[in-house]
Structure formats: C-alpha cells, structure tokens
Amino acid sequence: MCGISGVYTRQLSEQHKEIVQAVMLSQINRGPDFHQLILIEGRQAQALFGHNRLSIIDLSDQANQPMWDSSGRYCITYNGEIYNYLELRKELKDLKLQFKTESDTKTDTNKKTW
C-alpha cells in the first residue's frame, strides 16, 4: 500500500516542506520502492505532495507518482488500486488513447519534481 501526504497553502514555507518530508519518512514502510515530493504552484496558492510507492502492478520508473497529464495542468497522486483497470484500459485504447505505462493510472509525463 502506498502512502501520500501533502499541504495546500497560500504561501509555502520551509516548515511545510519539512512536515511533508517527515510524514513521508514516517510512512516509508508503506511505499519503500520510490518516494517523491512535488510542488504545484497556482496563481494564489501552492500545493506540495509527497508520495511513497509500493510497486505492485508496473515495476518501472514510469509508473511512479505523482503523475501529470500531457498538458501539464493536471496531476494525480493517490493511494489505492483500480481493480478494473484492464477493462478501462481496453475501452480507452479503443478510443485511440495511448499509454506510457502498464500501471493502473494513465499518465503522459512526470514534471515539476522538487
């Protein structure tokens, strides 16, 4: 089971970063295979997400989270598994969508790592 952490604030501080890193460290056993902090900056606020990955479905680095869509606008990090992802993948492939991983999450690229 993976682990996620994060903070959403109008002004991100070093203390926020330290807290998210401490949470990530405290749940390293939930996701020992990879961990990453990611900063998302908006016009009026910022979000800092941490993700600890337990690799189960796709063991490649391309399946690491957080993940971004091709526009760079949308980001996803979550804890869980999409059980019917093979059926959903087939439906999306029938619609001519392409996949860069074999994971249960569709992504186009990883960006903005901190």
Residues with a catalytic annotation lie at 2
pTM confidence score: 0.76
Question: What is the set of domains in the chain, with CATH numbers?
Answer: 3-94 (3.60.20.10)
Give pLDDT, residue 80: 82
Give pLDDT, residue 96: 85
Buried b (16+ CB within 10 A) or exposed e, 24-55: beebeeebeeebbbbebeeeeebbbbbbbbeb
According to DSSP, residue 87 is labeled H
pLDDT in tens, 12-62: 999 999 999 999 999 999 999 999 998 999 899 999 999 999 998 899 998
> Bigger pLDDT: 112 or 62?
62
Q: Which long-range contacts (CB under 8 A, 24 or more apart) does 80-85 make?
A: 80/2, 81/56, 81/57, 85/57
pLDDT category of residue 74 using cuts at 50, 70 and 90: confident
